[in-house]
A = this chain, B = another copy of it.
């Protein structure tokens, strides 16, 4: 069912490039209609928001009441609550380790330089919700913000007719999010970016969404912060060998493919027999899941199986693909992993499966897609800090370093810069 390529083939690199860019072009953002919506919300505020809510979500409220929230949470299965609690604890623990140390440095001239991590004041988390509900997305975005010390956390999550998912609300409560809005789409992004009467604007917006939400985030970027990447349809690349369990590998590929018609599943192996076994298994297992149609569609259109001849070729190809998730399901993963430069998150060994990392292992599941792992990273505490430099110069400092600054400033044609230093040196 899945396209099979062989790297021995002369045209392999070109064929792979064409396949990868074909998908990339499909996930282009729609920005024209999005710009109109953003302008409307900027101009007409809450009125515009309610207009779009009625049109797209059959919803007529902007924010649920505390009563509504609590009633929804009470309806939630305690088993799900416990699972959310466990995930929260483990995500909290691993992200706490990522906290930064401030730097303070005094040089020989007694100039003091500091470099501090200051939490962003206010952040909105966009949690998608119309066709599915993702409590895990709440945790993956909110927990790092809590660890960093963000004071004002806002959740934007569209409901069905205003009713939001109980587990999403429970996760938000767990994260002590007090501002919850039951709105969605580009208008919700505009609301938190520019503010309305009911919604105070924030400093940064994070969280996944469909292509309209992603386009809206790109559009408002500059007026408000967003992640250093555009999160798109999910991806996994799995490298396996003759020791891998084909049943497991097939289920990993299907687990990824069920996300979205545009999900990307790639399997790479040096072993032809495991490739055949996995391929057969996929056909068997597709029958087992409710979202089989999506998974099949995704595998047919964007799935690729690659037979390769060497680890070096595998490394190069993975670095070119720059997958969101990488599973190195091989015996020799230690030999390979150090050379992988481009991947959002890397699962090592036979038990580490993408689905585990999506929930409660502790690492983050908001990861760079569409090759953006070349230059960006998953959400982490880093996303919620600003880094500020503090400079305190001594008299000796400016007398020693100043003349050199005067030279450079004058060279750059900035005499005013030079003067501001000169005046401090030639004191009256």
Tell whether A345 is near chain B: CB-to-CB under 8 Å. Answer: yes
Q: What CA separation (Å) do A335 and B136 show in the bound complex?
A: 41
- Tell me if B375 and A405 are in contact (CB < 8 A): no
Q: What CA separation (Å) do A352 and B391 show in the bound complex?
A: 6
Q: What CA separation (Å) do A337 and B112 show in the bound complex?
A: 14
**Contact size class for A?**
35 or more
Q: What CA separation (Å) do A417 and B286 show in the bound complex?
A: 12
- Tell me if A83 and B346 are in contact (CB < 8 A): no
- Tell me if A113 and B363 are in contact (CB < 8 A): yes
Main secondary structure of the interface of A (DSSP, over half): mixed
Contact among B133, B222, B356, B415 for A421, CB-based, below 8 A: B356
| Closest CB in chain B relative to A371 CB, distance in Å | 8
Neighbouring B residues of A198 by C-beta, 8 Å: none
- Tell me if A291 and B82 are in contact (CB < 8 A): no
- Tell me if B375 and A204 are in contact (CB < 8 A): yes
Pick out which of these stretches binds chain B: A6-14, A67-75, A251-259, A303-311.
A251-259
Contact among B94, B344, B349, B353 for A113, CB-based, below 8 A: B94
Q: What CA separation (Å) do A415 and B248 show in the bound complex?
A: 14
Interface string of A387-411 (1 = CB under 8 A from B): 1111111110110011011011101
Given the known inter-chain contacts A105-B94, A113-B94, please indicate yes or no for A360 contacting B401, CB distance below 8 A: yes
Q: What CA separation (Å) do A222 and B84 show in the bound complex?
A: 32
Given the known inter-chain contacts A87-B404, A167-B411, A404-B360, please indicate yes or no for A257 contacting B345, CB distance below 8 A: no
- Tell me if B351 and A84 are in contact (CB < 8 A): no
| Closest CB in chain B relative to A16 CB, distance in Å | 17
Tell whether A20 is near chain B: CB-to-CB under 8 Å. Answer: no
| Closest CB in chain B relative to A269 CB, distance in Å | 18
Tell whether A97 is near chain B: CB-to-CB under 8 Å. Answer: yes
Neighbouring B residues of A240 by C-beta, 8 Å: none
Contact among B83, B203, B347 for A375, CB-based, below 8 A: B203
Query: What residue of chain B has the Cβ atom nearest to residue A132's Cβ?
Result: B413
Neighbouring B residues of A83 by C-beta, 8 Å: 404-405, 407-408, 411
Neighbouring B residues of A373 by C-beta, 8 Å: 386
Q: What CA separation (Å) do A207 and B420 show in the bound complex?
A: 25
Contact among B290, B342, B385 for A415, CB-based, below 8 A: B290
Q: What CA separation (Å) do A395 and B248 show in the bound complex?
A: 14
- Tell me if B351 and A424 are in contact (CB < 8 A): yes
Tell whether A358 is near chain B: CB-to-CB under 8 Å. Answer: yes
Neighbouring B residues of A355 by C-beta, 8 Å: 405, 409, 414, 417-418, 420-421
Neighbouring B residues of A362 by C-beta, 8 Å: 107, 113
Query: What residue of chain B has the Cβ atom nearest to residue A373's Cβ?
Result: B386
Contact among B29, B256, B289, B345 for A391, CB-based, below 8 A: B345
Neighbouring B residues of A392 by C-beta, 8 Å: 347-349, 351-352
Tell whether A243 is near chain B: CB-to-CB under 8 Å. Answer: no
A sample of 20 more A-B contacts (CB under 8 A), given A84-B408, A357-B391, is: A83-B405, A86-B404, A97-B103, A100-B100, A121-B341, A133-B412, A218-B222, A248-B424, A251-B416, A252-B420, A255-B416, A256-B416, A259-B414, A289-B415, A349-B392, A349-B393, A353-B398, A353-B424, A357-B389, A363-B389
In the A-B complex, the 8 residue pairs with the closest CB atoms: A225-B375, A363-B389, A355-B417, A258-B416, A251-B420, A351-B393, A377-B387, A255-B416
Binding site for B on A (CB under 8 A): 29, 77, 79-80, 82-84, 86-87, 90, 93-94, 97-98, 100, 103, 105, 107, 111, 113, 115, 118, 120-121, 132-136, 167, 203-204, 218, 221-222, 224-225, 228-230, 247-248, 251-252, 254-259, 285, 288-291, 295, 337, 341-364, 370, 372-378, 380, 382, 385-395, 397-398, 401-402, 404-405, 407-409, 411-421, 423-424, 428
